[in-house]
Amino acid sequence: MIWDRVFEPDKRLKPEVNAARIFAFVDTNFIGDESESVAFLWRCRAEGWIRFQKTDVVDTEHLTMKPELDYKRDLSSELAESLTPFVLDHSRLDAAVLGSRH
């Protein structure tokens, strides 16, 4: 164990350390979820064990959210965004991969 879990993780550590080499791709429903299991995953991230990446549609969904859900945008702003397959009328062109096999 890196340190005693009774204390908060050292703020000098970056959550992207990813010591366990586990990448978790999250969406809007995950962000702001207050369940015990999700809180545990956020703690693992804070301790540097896992890394969260948001899908490109998270920010797209945040553009149309009600103002009372702005906290989700704030929470997700610190997460790395992964490039995912382009979805017509949902993905942003600068944040998705559009391809063809030909």
What is the 3-state secondary structure of 3-69?
CCCCCCCCCCCCHHHCCCCEEEEECCCCCCCCCHHHHHHHHHHHCCCEEEEECHHHHHHHCCCCHHH
Note the pLDDT tens digit of each residue in 20-44.
899 988 888 898 898 999 999 998 8
- Which has the higher per-residue pLDDT, 18 or 59? 18
Name the β-bridge partners of 96: 84
**pTM of the shown model:** 0.69
In a domain, 26, yes or no: yes
More confident residue, 73 or 84: 73
Range of the domain at 44: 15-97
Domains of the chain: total: 1
Does residue 88 form part of some domain?
A: yes
Q: 88 pLDDT exceeds 90? A: no
Q: Is 4 among the domain residues?
A: no
Task: Please report the pLDDT score of residue 41 as a whole number.
Answer: 92
pLDDT of residue 77: 83
**pLDDT at residue number 1:** 46
Pairwise CA distance, residues 6 & 2, whole Å = 12
Buried b (16+ CB within 10 A) or exposed e, 73-92: beebeebebbebeeeeeebe
Q: Which of 28-37, 43-52, 78-87 has the lowest mean pLDDT?
A: 78-87
* pLDDT for the residue numbered 82: 81
